[in-house]
Amino acid sequence: MRLRTAAIIALPVAFLGYFFVYPLATILLTGLNSGDAGSAFAAVVTDPILRSVAWFTLWQAVASTVLTFAVGLPAAYVFARYSFPGRSVFRALTLVPFVLPTLAVATAMLALLGPTSPFGIDLRGTVWIILIAHVFYNLAIVIRGVGSFWEHIDPSIERAARVLGASRIRTFLEVTLPLLRPAILSAAALVFLFTFTSFGVVLVLGDLSHTTIEVEIWRQTTSFRRLDIAAALAIFQLVGVGLILFAYSRASQVRQLQLPYRPSGETLRRPRTAGERWFVGGTLAVLAVIVVIPIAVLVGKSLTTATGFGFENYTSLFTPTLGVTAPNAIGNTLRFAIPAVLIATLIGMLAAVSIAYERGRIGRVFDTMLMLPLGASAVMIGFGFLVALDEPIDLRTSVILIPIAHSLVAIPFIVRSTVPAMRSIQHRLREAAAVLGTSPAVVWREIDLPIISRAVAVGAAFAFAISVREFGATAFIVRRTSTTIPVAIFRLLGRPGSFGRAMALSVMLMGLAAIAALAVEALRGATTGDI
């Protein structure tokens, strides 16, 4: 088993080692060698401003994660247990915010909750506008990550608890919640990482008192030219993220349960009572307010022109703008997203298999390593690609670096979606197949793969969303002839008089995300059999 695990883990380790660890280590060492490394670390620890940045980064990430689950868990339950008209469309709509560039989200939040708010609420410069933006941005992780797992839990387990006299709340706390714990831990880890390393949202919506470590790394690099301070901050960020992820990995391995699950199509039903109908309707109404209003603001801004409302911002995108047209940007985005998803799926599934089969320290360490790209600074990774990847083959001018950079961030989504499902497969299924003389490869193809296929599809949907919206690392390695939609939006936002066109391109990106999400909903299907 150990030899087989080592063979499976070899490709993911080599991929992450060369394309993540090596470039990041190179740029960190370069930054520390550019100044006094000891004083840089001392400044991070003793400077009150940098300490306040670290504290704000931590507590706002915790608060954002809690608020996202407070809104997302009821929605995940509704999608996991109830069938209603428009369910697939609504689920697809929840993925749209996750694919938006952070600059577009921040701009929409300013329009909603800034000085020109239609509701008369000005939260500009407060932490609340940042928290609301993070909830809007990360809801899809909870709804899809937890909801897809919840769909397969046999409802008869919960019904048995109710028959024995347990209330709905007690049934949830003592029966359902323990079963959901693997998916909740996975989703919580992802939401925490995205909010802990938040860059674009905090850069636009925050101020000097509301700054994350990621924003401070960018500021120290671009404004103060202190690569040593930026490198020290990046190391502290990686160490903190690594410790948190290692604790998560231990918790997730200790608490795995193997239970009979049902195909998702068998667990859905129509709301029967008035209370159920009110709960489903109220949850969807809250979700619509949180998701639809910011999207509507973006659409409204994309249609606003100097002479009123019209489609001039859209039509102008079909003529060369900053060296790229909308069709070219969309084509480039898809050209990079498709191989990024394929790479992430291959590496992620191999990694998930090794983590699920290896329950010891090796599995925990590798699980933590796979999540580190989400906690690393995009600024440092982008610089690292340009500085380090010149040998044995010079890849610095190759467009292959773009899907590779995207896949680094997408791999954790494949792993986090797949590992809980794989660990929930009952050993008796594999043992029965082995007794009948079935080879491990056939067992994987006939038992494991059909069961985890939907979880992999969910991870692939997130990987696609990550790829089409990724900006941080792409900005450093993209060429003008390979401009993606997020990079084009950033260039338009920095050009006077092009704000409306930037919003129009953001709406096009939203449409692309919605089409992809609907395709996943249409093709995912229901798995069969026990898990």
Please answer whether residues 280 and 271 qualify as being in contact, where contact means their C-beta atoms are separated by less than 8 angstroms.
yes
pLDDT at 530: 34
pLDDT at 278: 93
Q: Which residues contact residue 236 at a Cβ distance below 8 angstroms, ignoring those fewer than 6 apart?
A: 44, 54, 213
Domain regions of the chain by residue span: 2-302+313-523
- Of 48, 143, 169, 64, which Cα lies nearest the Cα of 462? 143
pLDDT at 134: 94
Query: Which residues, in sequence order, are bridge partners of residue 269?
Result: 82
Q: Which residues contact residue 527 at a Cβ distance below 8 angstroms, ignoring those fewer than 6 apart?
A: 152, 263, 264, 450, 451, 453, 454
pLDDT at 110: 79
pLDDT at 527: 37
Strand ranges (DSSP E) for 233-341? 304-305, 308-309
Please answer whether residues 313 and 504 qualify as being in contact, where contact means their C-beta atoms are separated by less than 8 angstroms.
yes
Its pTM stands at: 0.78
pLDDT single digits (tens) 314-323: 988 888 765 6
- Take residue 48 and report the two structure tokens written for it: 């009150």
pLDDT at 55: 92
Tens-level pLDDT at each residue, the chain (531 residues): 566 667 778 888 889 888 888 888 887 777 777 666 677 778 778 888 888 998 999 999 999 999 999 999 999 999 988 888 888 778 878 878 887 777 778 877 877 887 777 778 888 888 999 999 999 989 988 998 888 788 877 777 777 877 778 777 888 887 788 888 878 888 888 899 889 988 878 888 887 778 888 888 888 877 777 778 888 888 888 888 877 777 776 666 655 555 555 655 667 788 888 888 999 999 999 888 888 888 888 888 888 888 888 888 898 888 876 567 888 888 888 889 899 999 999 998 888 887 777 666 666 677 777 777 877 777 677 777 877 877 777 777 777 888 988 898 888 878 877 887 777 666 666 666 666 666 666 666 666 777 777 778 878 877 887 888 787 777 777 777 778 888 888 788 777 878 788 888 888 887 776 776 666 666 554 433 333
Please answer whether residues 229 and 44 qualify as being in contact, where contact means their C-beta atoms are separated by less than 8 angstroms.
yes
Q: Which CATH architecture describes the domain 2-302+313-523?
A: Orthogonal Bundle (1.10)
